[in-house]
Amino acid sequence: MPSNTSAWYMNSLPLKFLFLPFKAAYTLFLIVLLIFGSSVLTQNYFGTGNLLEDEIKWSESVGHDAFPGKEVDDTINLQIARLSYKGLKTVFFDLTLVNESLKAKSEADFGYKFKNYLVPRMKYLQQFDTTLKVISLRLGNLALIVGISVIFAIPVLIDGLVMRAIRQENASRESAGIYHRAKYWRTGIIWLGCMIYMCVPISIPAYLLYLPLVAAIWMIFMQAKYLKKYL
């Protein structure tokens, strides 16, 4: 009894929703830190190519293939990328007063001392800005590809529910094990695939996101097919 009482907050849905924005912000901070650190390491010490240029090419390719009739700059993924970059720049440059400090021209201006600290490190500041642009492009690609996958997942879900109805009419065996395995695998596949794409320090084709998402769609079909009667 005491153990169940002390762990009530772990199963509390209101608390989970309350702390969800903080968990998302913490995850985003780790992604920014990981990509920034790895990009500094790979570009400064290993002489790799320009990550931002490669990401722009992949983003334009993904947007053009999804919306052939639209201009490259008008595709949904690039629109989301611009909004994401604006939000990230506000958080990391405006709210931290970095931009305000860089405008200081004399000692009487606000943030002049902070500017003197930043100017010798301007190279890293620019690289951090590039990191935010890369993350924004990947968020746009992720949103577009996940949205397309959801469209394909709907008929798969309906097909799975039809198979479930046929199975129940024929009095086939219920399998809670398959349902729960598919549920956990679906969640793991989606999160792992998205996190790898967001965090990898090299440019990879955004089309590779379809691989884990196709596997997740198959898990959705299995979930719907073996959905238990009492759910």
Least Cα distance to 128 among 46, 56, 36 occurs for: 36
pLDDT (tens digit, 0 to 9) for every residue of the chain, 231 residues total? Answer: 444 554 555 566 677 767 777 777 778 788 888 877 777 676 665 555 677 888 888 888 887 666 666 665 678 888 999 999 999 899 888 888 888 888 888 877 788 888 888 888 888 888 888 888 988 999 999 998 888 888 989 998 898 888 888 877 776 666 677 777 888 888 888 888 888 888 887 888 888 888 888 888 888 888 888 776 544
Q: What is the pLDDT of residue 82?
A: 92
All structural domains of the chain with their residue ranges: 20-225
Report whether 130 contacts 74 (CB < 8 A): no
Crossing angle between the packed helical segments 176-199 and 210-225, to the nearest 10 degrees: 160
Query: What is the spatial distance between Cα 141 and Cα 61, in angstroms, rounded to a whole number?
Result: 10
On whether the pTM is more than 0.85, the answer is no
Q: What is the pLDDT of residue 86?
A: 92
Tokens of 216: 């997740």
- SS3 category, 228: coil
Q: What is the pLDDT of residue 230?
A: 43
Crossing angle between the packed helical segments 210-225 and 122-169, to the nearest 10 degrees: 30
Amino acid identity, position 204: I
- DSSP tag of 93: I
Report whether 73 contacts 59 (CB < 8 A): no
